[in-house]
Structure 1
Amino acid sequence: MLTVRSRGRDVLYLPGGKREQGEDDWSALSREVREELAVELVPATFRRLGVVRAPAHDQPEYEYVRMACFTAGYDGDIVPTGEVDEFRYVGHENRDLLAPASQAALDLAKTHGLLYP
């Protein structure tokens, strides 16, 4: 699974972010991935996997993240840009490197058979 480490962070997250006013999930994800990794998502490959809820990393106790998870193909070469310092592909053996919501997304991807053994 493709993850990113944002500047100043100690764990890996999924590429993406919050919607801006008027954006749907596809538009927001496409914009965020373009801003973070300089690639274009391929609309025909966009697939919703589900929603996860997990404790928010580096936030007060009882703060939670609700994250809609998707998969998509892309065009271009991945290059970390903006606030992203690095990108990294991870599997279940790297689960401990992820923020809690990203761990839940990794588990979701595994249930959909999207991770290599």
Structure 2
Amino acid sequence: MLIDTVAWVRVEGGRILCARPRGKDVFYIPGGKREGAESDLQTLLREIEEELAVRILPDTVAHVGTYESGGPGLPDGAVVRMSCYTGDYRGRLAVSGEIEEVAWFSYADRPLVPPVDQLLFDDLKSAGHLA
């Protein structure tokens, strides 16, 4: 079983934006699952507006990597695929919809995110983007 997701990678000052959904104790890279035949871009724009109340500027979006991992809390044999994109935004970041809290994580916070997100943290750290 493949869980296909799209995520927004927003790094500022050596920290990456993470979000915690309502009722959960785990932080994730903001984003989510596509609906129907949505493209990665359509999914990214919709999910980020729903979760963080900002608009991603489509002409600034760039793919930074795709990661796959199993992990705790997933059905047996399930793998999460996370296609990651950067992009500028318009608006003010705010929790919205199903998001209860946002936080800016450094590499030291890596254990607080799921295994697939940890792969992104590793790449960002090795590229010198995460403190």
TM-score, structure 2 normalization: 0.80
Could you say which residue in structure 2 is the equivalent of 1:24? Answer: 39
Aligned with residue 36 of structure 1, among 51, 70, 74: 51
Task: Judge conservation of contact 1:49–1:108 (CA < 8 Å) in 2.
Answer: no
How far apart are residue 57 of structure 1 and its match? 4.2
Q: After TM superposition, list the pairs within 5 Å mapping 1:18-97 onto structure 2.
A: 18-97=33-112
Structure 1's consecutive aligned runs of 4 or more residues displaced over 6 angstroms after TM superposition are none
Work out the percentage of aligned pairs sharing the same amino acid.
39
CA pair 89-69 structure 1, distance change in 2 beyond 3 A:
same
RMSD of Structure 2 on Structure 1 (CA) = 1.5
Rounded to whole Å, the distance in 1 between the matches of 2:53 and 2:79 is 29
How many residues of Structure 1 are paired with residues of Structure 2 in the alignment?
A: 116
Structure 2 unmatched ranges of 5 or more? 1-15
Higher strand proportion, which one? 2
Rounded to whole Å, the distance in 2 between the matches of 1:85 and 1:57 is 22
Q: Which amino acid aligns with 1:89?
A: W
Rounded to whole Å, the distance in 2 between the matches of 1:82 and 1:17 is 13
Rounded to whole Å, the distance in 2 between the matches of 1:4 and 1:24 is 22
Structure 1 unmatched ranges of 5 or more? none
Rounded to whole Å, the distance in 2 between the matches of 1:114 and 1:28 is 25
Q: Which amino acid aligns with 1:29?
A: L
